[in-house]
A and B are shown apart, each in its own frame.
Chain A
Amino acid sequence: MEVFVTFLLNLIYISATLALIALGLAMVFGLLGVMNMAHGEFVMLGAYSVYVVQLAGQHFLWAIPVAIVICVMVGWLMEWLVVRHLYSRPFDTLLATWGVAILIRKGVEVIFTRDYKSVNQVMPGTIDLLGVSYPAYRLLLVALIIVLFVALFTWYQKSKAGLKIRAMVQGPELAAAVGIDTARLSRLTFIIGVSTAGLAGVLLAPLVRVEPYIGLDYLMSSFFILIVGGLGTLEGLLIGSTVIGGTDAIVSTVFDKTAGYMSVLLISILFLWLRPDGIFYRR
Chain B
Amino acid sequence: MDRTILEVQNLSGGYGDLIIVRNISLSVYNGNTVSITGRNGVGKTTLMRLISGSLPLTSGKVNFLGNSIAEVPEHKRFNLGMSYAPQERIVFDNLSVKDNLTLHYLETDLDRYSNLFENFPRLRERLGQRAGTLSGGEKKLLSFTRAIAEPSNLVLLDEPTEGVQSDNIELMAQVICSQKSQGRGFLVVDQNLTFLESITDTIHLLDHGEQVYKTDNKRFRGEIETRISI
Contact of B103 with A177 in the complex, beta carbons under 8 Å: no
Bound together, the chains give a CA A262 to CA B41 distance in angstroms of 55
* Interface SS, A side: helix
CB neighbours (8 Å) of B92 from chain A are: 166-167, 170-171, 174-175
Of the residues A163, A166, A173, A178, contact of B54 by C-beta under 8 Å = A173
Of the residues A166, A173, A178, A179, contact of B89 by C-beta under 8 Å = A173
The residue of chain B having its C-beta at the shortest distance from the C-beta of A282 within the complex is B94
The residue of chain B having its C-beta at the shortest distance from the C-beta of A182 within the complex is B75
Contact of A180 with B99 in the complex, beta carbons under 8 Å: no
Contact of A178 with B78 in the complex, beta carbons under 8 Å: yes
Contact of A177 with B86 in the complex, beta carbons under 8 Å: yes
Q: A164-B103, A171-B89, A182-B75 are in contact. Are A177 and B95 (CB under 8 A)?
A: no
Within 89-111 of B, Cβ neighbours of A (below 8 Å) are at 89-95, 99, 103-104, 106
Of the residues B73, B84, B93, B150, contact of A170 by C-beta under 8 Å = B93
Interface size of B by CB at 8 A reads 25
* Interface SS, B side: loop
| Interface: B161 (CB within 8 A) | no
Q: A160-B103, A167-B103, A171-B89 are in contact. Are A177 and B78 (CB under 8 A)?
A: yes
- Residue of B74, B76, B89, B146 with highest tally of chain A CB at under 10 A: B74
Contact of A174 with B103 in the complex, beta carbons under 8 Å: no
CB distance from B6 to the nearest CB of A (A): 16
Bound together, the chains give a CA A182 to CA B78 distance in angstroms of 13
Bound together, the chains give a CA A175 to CA B91 distance in angstroms of 9
CB neighbours (8 Å) of B75 from chain A are: 175-177, 179-182
Interface size of A by CB at 8 A reads 18
Contact of A177 with B54 in the complex, beta carbons under 8 Å: yes
Contact of A166 with B74 in the complex, beta carbons under 8 Å: no
CB distance from A179 to the nearest CB of B (A): 3
The residue of chain B having its C-beta at the shortest distance from the C-beta of A173 within the complex is B54
Q: A160-B103, A167-B103, A182-B75 are in contact. Are A174 and B86 (CB under 8 A)?
A: yes
CB neighbours (8 Å) of B78 from chain A are: 176-179
CB distance from A164 to the nearest CB of B (A): 6
Contact of A174 with B89 in the complex, beta carbons under 8 Å: yes
Contact of B90 with A174 in the complex, beta carbons under 8 Å: yes
Of the residues B53, B93, B94, B103, contact of A178 by C-beta under 8 Å = B103
CB neighbours (8 Å) of A170 from chain B are: 92-95
CB neighbours (8 Å) of B91 from chain A are: 174
The residue of chain A having its C-beta at the shortest distance from the C-beta of B99 within the complex is A163
Bound together, the chains give a CA A166 to CA B99 distance in angstroms of 11
Bound together, the chains give a CA A9 to CA B163 distance in angstroms of 57
CB neighbours (8 Å) of B54 from chain A are: 173, 176-177
CB distance from B131 to the nearest CB of A (A): 10
The residue of chain B having its C-beta at the shortest distance from the C-beta of A160 within the complex is B103
CB neighbours (8 Å) of A163 from chain B are: 95, 99, 103
CB neighbours (8 Å) of A160 from chain B are: 103, 106
Name the 4 nearest CB pairs between A and B, nearest first.
Answer: A179-B78, A176-B74, A178-B104, A177-B84
Residues of B within 8 A of A (CB): 52-54, 73-76, 78-79, 84-86, 89-95, 99, 103-104, 106, 146, 150
